[in-house]
Structure 1
Amino acid sequence: MTRRRLATAVRLALVALLGALSLVVVAPAASAEVEEGIGHRTTPGQSWGDRDRDYDWLGSYVVDGEHVFCVSFALKAPDSTEHYEPGDELLTKWGDPLESDVAANISYLLLRYGDTTDADEAAALAHLLHSWTAAPRSPADLDPSKPFTEIGYDVEAQFAKLPQGAQDAVEALRSDAEANRGPWTANVTAPEGEQIIDTPADWTVSVTNADGTGIPGVEVELALTDLAPGDTGDAEGDPPADEAESTGNAESTGADGADSADGAAAPGSGDAGTTDENGETVTLVTDEDGNATLTAAPTGEQPSVTATLTAPAERPYVRDPVTADTQRVVSTGGEQTLTAEAATTAVPAPGVVKVTKVDDETGEGIAGVPLRLTAEDKTSPAVGADGEDLVDSDGEPLVVTTEGENGLVTIEDLRTPQTVCVIEVTPPQGYGDAFDPENPPSACGELHPGDTLELRISNVADEVPRTIPAGTQPTATSQSATMSGAPVSALVALGALVVAVAGLTGWVTRKRLLRQR
């Protein structure tokens, strides 16, 4: 081979190699494997570019294994060479911004029906997307000689080709979007008042639209802090503490987020999800009024609930422009993440103190004994369940009084845990001898959450004297002793007096009898 021929051959090989490399480099970066997903074929297809087509596909596409909904244009306007990029705001085929209500409708429908497995719903969603983004501005936009980048979507003709079920779904989806489109608002409401640890209460989640109307069937993930899902139980016994009650469907979920919601949710009961280092996670679904209720018991002093849900974005955006069958299609997304949080405080269950005042020897109760209620130091007041010091009107620790034949007094609603003491203020009658005002009788104990602490104070009765020392005031016994010690002469004189009186009485009697004769 001559040197000239060899050089020519080398040049040809380099050109072929560069050509091959160019095909790889300039191939559309967004090209992907695309196939029909869920929906319907409509026949015959709409003509464009002077081409008759056997059918059109209305439904989802499977792009790299994922079901997405697409609009069949990739340029921002038919006369523009500017291509969509992921994250761009979706415009009409003519390059105009979508009207706000249309944008909200698209976002809502993509969120609520984007994962539908119903062919009629999928076809209806695709039809509405094309109708809102590529409706003809005039009959000229339906000229079949126009290329696919310029042809409008023949709304009425395409609707007529849909099966009846899909036509019905078009109207149902349109009505659903009008009623429930965004923007949505999420709220979490904590139970009223201070909560009691280990005592269940209801937390409410609500999802509403711009008009304040509740949105049903919304899947909400709840991250719980210092809370354990539970139930208030019934008369036959409490259910397990790992059951969560809600007014809508619920399912277990991890801490990474909620699964996609669908529009077919119905009210039902729910279950708790997983537990991670941050606490329990529960997934609920709102009922027909847009509410879901979680019954949970505080496990700590700062219980809170954080709700996370996927809501329709204000406007849809471009997810992934792809190439398929000489067409450029744009898969669209219309969701955003909403969060809402509520928190409250919780305290341990209050306790009760019962104090009994008794006789040390007989064990019988002593009523009417004043006792001062204090903290462990026996000086500062004990604390009530509301966190306030228990004091009298003078600001001193509260004084309670024993009552009844048992000598009992009960003090309820005390903060726990705390050490409580009761100190005798004054002794009861008949028990003063053993009372030391510098160290009065008392009793202390540790009061635990939800418990009843029983304290007992006994008193030693005063001793009754058995003999009376000399020099005390006269008694019946001393008078008797005086009478037994009278002299004999006194007794003789008394006898003479008696005889004289008797003789005088006899003389007077005889005198009267003589006169009568």
Structure 2
Amino acid sequence: MGWKRLAAVAMVSGLALLTVPSTASAVGVKGIGHNASGLQPNATPGSEWHGSYIWQDKQVWCVQYALPAPDSGVGYREGDELLTKAGKKLEAGIAANISYLLLRYSTTKSPEEAAALAHLLHSWTSVPDGAVRLDTTDPKFLAYDAPFYAARLPQPVMDAVARLKADAETNRGPWTLSATAPKEPLIIGSESTWTLALVKANDKGVTNAPINFTLTDATLADGKTSGTATTGADGQPATVKVIATGPKPSIAAVADSPADRPVVHFPIQTDNMQRMVTTGGEKKLNAAANGQAKTAPGAVKITKIDSETKKAIPGVALRVTAKDQTKAAKKQDDTDLVGTDGKPLVLQTGPDGTVEVPDLRTPQEICLVEVAAPKGYEEFFDPKAPPSSCGTLAAGQTLALELVNKPNKPVVPSTIPAGADGQTPVATASFDMQLRPGLMLAVGGLVLLGAALAGFLVWRRQ
């Protein structure tokens, strides 16, 4: 459906209108269409014309009948609903058909479509009804003889009549406009897809329909905050790529729709007759959708190292907390980052001495607190003031923290120092004695030899 900017669409009441002087601003200047090959009995000359007129430099359609509105003493007012020639309400379906066709074909360039539209408008609004008859000579009550003209209009016009009528039945209003925000969480600075749907009375989408929109707390990729989206050729909703710039992005959409019923727009009173221009039955539809956007989530990565060797320390238990080192940190979905025990989550450093915590809300201050000293670092661990490291998370960034542990003092051999009383240091030793048979014989021989020598010396002395 090729939609263009809506021209003013008109229906004019009163046979006398065709006698209005042909000036650029007066009703009566023919536009495009076809003449029927004959004029129905009692009709005013000129009524064989089926097509548009030019009024105030715009293409309009004229329903040629005299209407007492609904009697000669009461005139239409701005915005009044269009009635039949007999002064009765149009059936809902016919009213919706008229509104749609005047909206859809107001800018047609086809003489056949213009003539077909005029024929349908006459057929629906000036049918025989009560005083409105085919056999009257009073032009105010002369009905439109649809079969008569159908037999006298060119076949291409009647083909267009069938096509336009089917189009109206399929696409007439009321239409509904809806806007939908994405279901997934919205991230400030990231693109998301919003949808705008225009649906007909039969619950099918309107094809190729433009929908204007305005964004708040959001922009398009080019930085603009407004634009036009078009529904698909199959009636699928239009999509808009939106970048949230604040916490409450929203879209407001506006679309033209055929009204439920056409209404009078510009009545002209002349004696007991009227010429009136009515709207094309269009109305504005409005829809809006809102979302909640957050800054991009952040992550924190902590490295646990030895203060002297600068090597990584694996297997260190660390508690993830908020700034106060007591409450739990917040995840991106605003829930607390806790373990199965409901307390702030505790993690352990891996083989490389690091541990990373993703999907954290930003901005917020995060602290990692050591739960217990790793083996070899107990001496300098104070459970009342455990080592910790804190920092502020930025949107979409990873906060790198470092936590240092001082190793225990090494254990080395020591001596007992001299005391204040001047005592000499005492060293102790231990011995391990083992007696072997060969060694014992040698020692015994030496003892006997020594004894013999001693005896010999004593004998000599005597």
Where on the TM-score scale, by shorter chain, does this alignment land: which range? Answer: 0.7 to 0.9
Same amino acid, percent of matched pairs: 42
The match for 1:63 is 55
**CA distance in structure 1 between the aligned counterparts of 2:276 and 2:112, rounded to whole angstroms:** 21
2:368 is equivalent to residue 422 of structure 1: yes
Find the residue that maps to 1:149 and give its secondary structure: helix
The match for 2:166 is 175
Change (3 A) 1:43 1:182: closer
Change (3 A) 1:141 1:77: farther
Task: Please show how residues 8-157 of structure 1 align to structure 2 within 5 Å.
Answer: 33-36=26-29, 38-44=31-37, 46=39, 52-53=45-46, 56-73=48-65, 75-76=67-68, 80-137=72-129, 141-143=133-135, 146-157=137-148
Change (3 A) 1:382 1:139: closer
2:227 is equivalent to residue 282 of structure 1: yes
Amino acid at match of 1:309: A
Aligned partners of 2:66 and 2:139 also within 8 Å: no
The match for 2:294 is 347
Aligned partners of 2:75 and 2:269 also within 8 Å: no
**CA distance in structure 2 between the aligned counterparts of 1:102 and 1:501, rounded to whole angstroms:** 146
Find the residue that maps to 1:73 and give its secondary structure: coil
TM superposition shift of 1:77: 5.5
Residues matched between the structures, number: 411
Deviations 1:405-459 (A, max 9, x none): x101111110011111111121211112222333322211111111111111121
Find the residue that maps to 1:434 and give its secondary structure: coil
Deviations 1:473-493 (A, max 9, x none): xxxxx77x5559x9xxxx9xx
Amino acid at match of 1:388: T
My pick for the range that moved more, 90-99 or 389-398, is 389-398
**CA distance in structure 1 between the aligned counterparts of 2:99 and 2:322, rounded to whole angstroms:** 62
The match for 2:248 is 302
2:334 is equivalent to residue 387 of structure 1: yes
My pick for the range that moved more, 445-454 or 76-85, is 76-85
Find the residue that maps to 2:262 and give its secondary structure: strand
**CA distance in structure 1 between the aligned counterparts of 2:255 and 2:43, rounded to whole angstroms:** 47
Structure 1 runs, 4 residues or longer, greater than 6 Å off: 501-504
**CA distance in structure 2 between the aligned counterparts of 1:368 and 1:382, rounded to whole angstroms:** 22
Aligned partners of 1:351 and 1:452 also within 8 Å: yes
- Structure 1, unpaired ranges of 5+: 1-30, 230-240, 243-271, 472-477, 505-517
In structure 2, which of residues 444, 451, 454 is the aligned counterpart of residue 500 of structure 1? 444
The match for 1:316 is 262
Change (3 A) 1:496 1:399: closer
**CA distance in structure 1 between the aligned counterparts of 2:327 and 2:441, rounded to whole angstroms:** 82
Aligned partners of 2:205 and 2:236 also within 8 Å: yes
The match for 1:371 is 318
The match for 1:220 is 211
**CA distance in structure 1 between the aligned counterparts of 2:43 and 2:407, rounded to whole angstroms:** 120
Change (3 A) 1:65 1:98: same
TM-score (norm 2): 0.79
TM superposition shift of 1:37: 5.5
**CA distance in structure 1 between the aligned counterparts of 2:311 and 2:214, rounded to whole angstroms:** 56
Amino acid at match of 1:498: A
Deviations 1:39-81 (A, max 9, x none): 213045636767644x743233222223332322352458634
In structure 1, which of residues 202, 206, 209 is the aligned counterpart of residue 200 of structure 2? 209
Amino acid at match of 2:349: T
Task: Please show how residues 341-490 of structure 1 align to structure 2 within 5 Å.
Answer: 341-404=288-351, 406-470=352-416, 481-483=429-431
Alpha-carbon RMSD across the aligned residues, in angstroms, is 3.4
**CA distance in structure 1 between the aligned counterparts of 2:398 and 2:148, rounded to whole angstroms:** 80
My pick for the range that moved more, 387-396 or 101-110, is 387-396
- Structure 2, unpaired ranges of 5+: 1-23, 418-426, 449-462
